[in-house]
């Protein structure tokens, strides 16, 4: 009797949360649930960190380094491997990372207890992935390289087979088929796995898919028949929807198909399930839109990834409010969220080929989605498509972050040339010089602890804006204010009065929070007094074009515009961070800056006066 092919399971615990909503559990919650996950007895691997995990720790005021160390420990003790998501050139963030920061990244993560680095590039540009193979090996980690799966005329079985061979020949220990939107077609996925196994039978292959569009169970069966070794799974109550296939269904399907699969301790499964519900009731559920619990085959056409849909539905609330404010001012009928969603999906399908078919995975999925959403918002307000393009989006289209799979549309090429923008063909890493020395200097100037294995230095270098907000206490204050607003709004729906103000204490500093109308962002200031924005000048008002967070500079080494500076029309004077990208705001006329109306990190709304410039 032939030995049954063994298929092992990996619980993508981090991605379960990110695909459902905005935040991940606190470290105390993670440490509490870990023993029950171990007790389930069916997981060879658990995804513990990476991607957006560490940024969202910072956003709600928790140290991600301490969280990762505590969270990976119980799995190691149980002999379960831990893995993390690594965005290649972008490390753990949305924008490119200097090489010295990337090298430190792997040393820190291995020291913290992470075994496997799952590296991907949203452009499938192997120049951005191959250096990570060496960095992972130097740091003592297993290098698992990803094929970002999407469906287009360019992304064929032959395309992915060739890419896998190149990565294996460059030293990759494993290959992951990262079907981040769940739109890979089952037969094609099986063919890719079969091709890899035919040439490199010893290379482990792991399959990652999202359930949303509806292909995932068929895809899992096909890749396993072709020789896949590991399958990423979710579990109740965060399986299916924009998340992942449930381990119970996957196990039953594969067992019936003749595979050797682990048994599941159902008592432990129910314990984990109960704890997850408890985490949702604590605070995480306030950031999980109900729609994300549903499957939707409308996702097939736009191909947006499950990991992005969690935050997308939350962000759309703000975008819809902005559009409807404009419509109310102009006597137009308001738009519903369904109408906005369909317009967005249609616009994604329209702009994606024109932007060169980047794989719709972080950060490029956000870039394409943001571009589509910005187009929709601008066109709804009577402006032209492509009228506002963020710097990061331009960098992608110009080749600064890697080679696009397809060709940029002639309309966008002409727009780039008209604006004097340069196209890039060089190795992307060369555009981002080493920076650790500057961050070391900042750590010393602030008397900040470098942490074990330089992990705090790494966190500042990887997430500068978020880390500074975390250290100041502002991140936690903003988060707690927003959470209180959401709790109050939910209470108001059930007949509980909505408070007008409340106080939040963070690191001994008291913050006063003013709650606005339902849907409005809270205003946060210290109870004593918020630091005054500079200047009390005259002049024409520069209005904010979108809602987000105000920053004078994007990078720590940049020179900020200040009161008294002379600026030219078209000169970038500040940024608004929205939808995870920095949107450059330019002066609309020549003049002298007489007032800067917000401090860096402040929340701004559309049409807020952010600066005054005297012509």
Please give the pLDDT value at position 80: 98
CB atoms within 10 A of CB 5: 16
Please give the pLDDT value at position 194: 98
Q: What are 447-490's pLDDT values in tens digits? A: 999 999 999 999 999 999 889 999 999 888 988 898 898 888 87
Q: In this structure, are residues 211 and 240 in contact, taking their beta carbons and an 8 Å threshold?
A: yes
Please give the pLDDT value at position 530: 37
- Complete DSSP assignment for 95-110: S---HHHHHHHHHHHH
The token duo for 586 is: 């330019």
Which residue spans within 390-519 are E strands per DSSP? 501-506, 509-514
Task: Give the β-pairing of 509-514 and 501-506.
Answer: antiparallel
Instruction: List the 581-586 sheet strands across, edge first.
Output: 581-586, 572-578, 548-551, 603-604
Residues 548, 598: Cα–Cα separation, whole Å: 12
Helix pair angle (436-445, 455-462), 10° resolution: 110
Q: What are 146-198's pLDDT values in tens digits? A: 999 999 999 999 999 999 999 999 999 999 999 998 999 999 999 999 999 99
Residues 375, 378: Cα–Cα separation, whole Å: 5
CA nearest neighbour of 20 among 362, 289, 231, 299: 289
Please state the pTM of the whole predicted model: 0.81
Q: In this structure, are residues 561 and 568 in contact, taking their beta carbons and an 8 Å threshold?
A: no
Residues 150, 42: Cα–Cα separation, whole Å: 29
Q: What are phi and psi of 63, to 5 degrees?
A: -75, 115
Q: In this structure, are residues 123 and 364 in contact, taking their beta carbons and an 8 Å threshold?
A: yes
Please give the pLDDT value at position 533: 56
Please give the pLDDT value at position 512: 43
Q: In this structure, are residues 340 and 320 in contact, taking their beta carbons and an 8 Å threshold?
A: yes
CA distances from 450 to 294, 443, 445, 473, 604 (A): 43, 7, 12, 18, 33
Residues 87, 51: Cα–Cα separation, whole Å: 7
Q: Dihedral of CA 39/43/44/49: which sign?
A: negative
Please give the pLDDT value at position 504: 47
Three-state SS at 503: strand
Residues 230, 259: Cα–Cα separation, whole Å: 12
Three-state SS at 505: strand
Please give the pLDDT value at position 378: 84
Residues 437, 441: Cα–Cα separation, whole Å: 6
Residues belonging to the chain: 615
- In the DSSP assignment, the letter for residue 407 is P
Q: Facing residues of 603 across strands? A: 549
Q: Among the residues of 473-590, which ranges form H helices?
A: 474-493
Q: What are phi and psi of 486, to 5 degrees?
A: -65, -40
Going along the chain from its start, the domains and CATH numbers come out as 9-293 (3.20.20.70), 297-430 (no CATH), 473-528 (no CATH), 540-614 (2.40.50.100)
Low-confidence ranges of the chain (pLDDT < 70): 1-2, 52, 305-315, 492-536, 556, 579-580
Residues 286, 517: Cα–Cα separation, whole Å: 17
Residues 345, 573: Cα–Cα separation, whole Å: 32
Burial zone of 338 (CB within 10 Å; 0-12 exposed, 13-18 middle, 19+ buried): exposed
Please give the pLDDT value at position 508: 52
Determine the straight-line distance between the first and last CA of the chain, rounded to whole angstroms: 86
Q: Per residue in 220-256, is it b (16+ CB within 10 Å) or e — as a string?
A: bbbbbbbbbbbbbbbbbbbbbbbbbbbbbbbbebbee
Please give the pLDDT value at position 406: 94
């Amino acid at each position: 009797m032939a030995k049954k092919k063994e298929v092992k399971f990996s619980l993508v615990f981090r991605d379960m949360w990110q695909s459902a909503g905005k935040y991940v559990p606190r470290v105390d919650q993670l440490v509490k649930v870990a023993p029950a996950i171990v007790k389930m007895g069916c997981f060879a691997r658990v995804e513990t960190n990476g991607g957006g995990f560490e940024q969202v720790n910072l956003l709600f005021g928790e140290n991600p380094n301490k969280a990762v160390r505590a969270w990976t420990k119980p799995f190691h003790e149980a002999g379960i491997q831990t893995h993390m998501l690594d965005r290649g050139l972008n490390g753990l963030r949305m924008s490119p990372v200097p090489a010295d920061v990337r090298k430190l990244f792997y040393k820190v993560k291995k020291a913290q207890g992470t075994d496997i680095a799952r590296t991907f590039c949203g452009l499938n540009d192997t120049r951005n992935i191959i250096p990570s193979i060496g960095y992972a090996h130097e740091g003592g980690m297993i290098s698992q390289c990803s094929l970002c799966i999407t469906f287009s005329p360019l992304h064929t079985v032959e395309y992915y087979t060739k890419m896998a061979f190149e990565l294996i020949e460059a030293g990759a220990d494993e290959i992951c088929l990262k079907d981040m939107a769940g739109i890979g077609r089952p037969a094609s996925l099986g063919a890719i796995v079969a091709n890899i196994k035919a040439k490199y039978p010893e290379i482990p292959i792991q399959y990652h898919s999202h359930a949303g569009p509806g292909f995932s169970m068929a895809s899992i069966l096909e890749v396993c028949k072709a020789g896949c070794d590991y399958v990423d799974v979710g579990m109740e109550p965060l399986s299916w929807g924009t998340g992942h296939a449930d381990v119970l269904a996957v196990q039953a399907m594969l067992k019936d198909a003749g595979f050797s699969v682990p048994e599941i301790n159902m008592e432990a499964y129910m314990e984990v399930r109960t704890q997850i519900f408890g985490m949702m009731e604590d605070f995480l559920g306030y950031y999980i839109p109900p729609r994300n619990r549903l499957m939707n085959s409308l996702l097939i056409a736009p191909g947006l990834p499950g990991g992005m849909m969690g935050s997308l539905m939350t962000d759309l609330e703000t975008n819809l409010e902005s559009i409807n404010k404009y419509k109310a001012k102009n006597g137009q009928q308001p738009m519903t969220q369904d109408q906005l969603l369909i317009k967005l999906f249609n616009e994604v399908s329209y702009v994606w080929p024109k932007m060169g078919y980047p794989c719709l995975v972080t950060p490029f999925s956000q870039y394409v989605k943001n571009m589509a959403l910005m187009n929709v918002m601008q066109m709804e307000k009577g402006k032209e498509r492509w009228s506002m393009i963020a710097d990061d989006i331009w960098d992608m289209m110009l080749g600064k972050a890697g080679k696009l799979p397809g060709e940029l549309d002639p309309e966008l090429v002409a727009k780039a040339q008209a604006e004097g923008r340069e196209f890039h063909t060089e190795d992307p890493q060369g555009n981002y010089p080493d920076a650790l020395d500057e961050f070391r200097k900042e750590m010393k100037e602030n008397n900040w602890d470098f942490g074990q294995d330089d992990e705090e230095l790494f966190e500042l270098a990887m997430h500068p804006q978020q880390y500074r907000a975390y250290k100041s206490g502002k991140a936690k204050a903003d988060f707690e204010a927003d959470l209180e607003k959401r709790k109050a709004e939910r209470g108001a729906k059930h007949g509980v009065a909505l408070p007008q103000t409340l106080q939040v204490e963070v690191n001994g500093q008291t913050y006063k929070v003013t709650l606005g109308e339902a849907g409005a962002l809270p205003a946060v200031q210290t109870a004593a007094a918020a630091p005054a924005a500079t200047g009390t000048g005259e002049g024409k008002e520069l209005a904010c074009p979108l809602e987000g967070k105000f920053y004078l500079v994007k990078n720590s080494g940049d020179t900020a515009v200040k009161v008294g500076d002379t600026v030219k029309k078209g000169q970038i004077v500040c940024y608004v961070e929205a939808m995870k990208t920095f949107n450059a705001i330019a002066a609309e006329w020549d003049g002298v800056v007489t007032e800067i109306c917000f401090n860096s990190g402040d929340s701004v709304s559309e049409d807020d006066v952010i600066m005054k410039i005297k012509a």
